[in-house]
Amino acid sequence: MATIHKFVTTGLLALVAAVALALPSSADAAQRTSAKKKAHSASSASSRATKQALLRSGRRVSSRQLATVVRFEPARPSFGQLYGLQNTADALNLKSSVALVLDSETNEVLFSKNSEAILPIASLTKLMTAVVVTEAKLPLAEMLSVSQDDVDTEKGSRSRLKVGTQLSREEMLHLALMSSENRAAHALGRAYPGGLEAFVAAMNSKARELGMNDTHYVEPTGLSSKNQSSARDLATLVKAAHEHQIIRELSTSPEYQVEVGNRPMQFRNTNGLVRNPQWEIGLQKTGYITEAGRCLVMQAKLAGRQLIMVFLDSAGKYSRIGDAERVRRWINEAPVAPAPTVVGLPKLTS
């Protein structure tokens, strides 16, 4: 028995030793994990650089080719996700982290969700771009050219307006508001008296004039995540922009055709609700970058009231539109005027 016990014990010790030799040490595992993270980070940076280089080259690149370049990039959270704002529950089950609904004539707040959080606002920026251009009373018929300076090197976003395209200031404004054309918006800022720096200063000056104390701009397109605001400030901007007829008309235009070179080019509104007969929209603007999530602001008439709606950091592609529909049903189906609903976390800044 002693011999058998010794044999079994020896066998077990040998097995344990073999397993120990086969398994990596914790230090080796940590080194490999670190190396993988560094390689993944380098691969992501390389993919982004390659994608931007392809887009800037002007060559025709298929969506499959671009997908091959960027398929290994990890999904990045929005600022709202990082702040935990998407965990805020509300009575309407909105998918947007931030929402605000108010009566533009009485300033009565009907619904508020994290409305004081300061977040990137993406192409909602273009509303302020339009206000500054309009109030400067620059000649709308003046021809502007898209230059290499208008090409997006930050996000590598695409544009149908090639370098050298010439359009009138009004056409550029139309495409910036309706189709969220980044090169058009940038060209408008660049063509401002004093150039782009003077234009951005005018944007921030107008924000201060309107009392938008949570708002800051660094460029006219919204591609930079440093363009930030709160829902309350954006409601103020919507109200100010709605005072200008040209902004109302151009932002709600369902589609528009321009001559680019020698051929017509059709553009459509990024907000499909402008084509929905159930909606009476007086002004709208959409926006999206990863850091901001999907965004939407509108001025619309519901149940006989002129309302301003702001939705920020919506996660799904169509969820901001779904949120607008949820608010419309809530307003229209209420037997009496809905009582104010306020939910959210304390004020957050980036």
pLDDT tens readout for residues 158-203: 999 999 999 999 999 999 999 999 999 999 999 999 999 999 999 9
Do 153 and 201 fall within a single domain? yes
Do 148 and 239 fall within a single domain? yes
Those residues whose C-beta lies under 8 Å from the C-beta of residue 200, and which sit 6 or more positions away, are 189, 217, 218, 219, 220
- Whether the per-residue pLDDT at 64 is higher than 50: the answer is yes
Contact 319, 294 (CB under 8 A): yes
Residue 3 lies in a domain: no
Do 63 and 83 fall within a single domain? no
Q: What is the DSSP letter of 272?
A: G
Tell me the residue ranges of DSSP E strands in 252-334: 255-260, 263-268, 281-289, 293-302, 305-314
Contact 312, 96 (CB under 8 A): yes
Residue 350 lies in a domain: no
Residue 258 lies in a domain: yes
Q: Which two tokens stand for residue 187?
A: 């060209």
- Whether the per-residue pLDDT at 115 is higher than 70: the answer is yes
Q: Which residues are catalytic?
A: 123, 126, 180
Other beta carbons within 10 angstroms of residue 248's beta carbon come to 18
Q: What region, left, alpha or beta, does residue 219 occupy, with left being phi > 0 and alpha being psi -120 to 50 degrees?
A: beta
Q: Over the chain, what is the mean pLDDT?
A: 84
Annotate 50-62 with b (16+ C-beta within 10 A) or e (fewer).
ebbeebeeeeeee
* Stated length of the chain: 350
Residue whose token pair is 């929905």: 276
Domain hosting residue 338, numbered range: 79-343
Regarding pTM above 0.85, the answer is: no
Band (pLDDT 50/70/90 cuts) for residue 342 is: confident
Q: What is the DSSP letter of 73?
A: P
Band (pLDDT 50/70/90 cuts) for residue 52 is: low
Query: What burial class does residue 232 get, using C-beta atoms within 10 Å of its C-beta: 0-12 exposed, 13-18 middle, 19+ buried?
Result: buried
Total structural domains within the chain? 2
**What does the alpha-carbon distance between residue 262 and residue 179 come to, in Å, rounded to a whole number?**
21
Q: Which two tokens stand for residue 273?
A: 């609700």
Residue 349 lies in a domain: no
Do 177 and 277 fall within a single domain? yes
Q: What's the count of helices (H) and strands (E) in the chain, helices before strands? A: 11, 12
Position with higher pLDDT, 67 vs 343:
343
**What does the alpha-carbon distance between residue 152 and residue 146 come to, in Å, rounded to a whole number?**
12
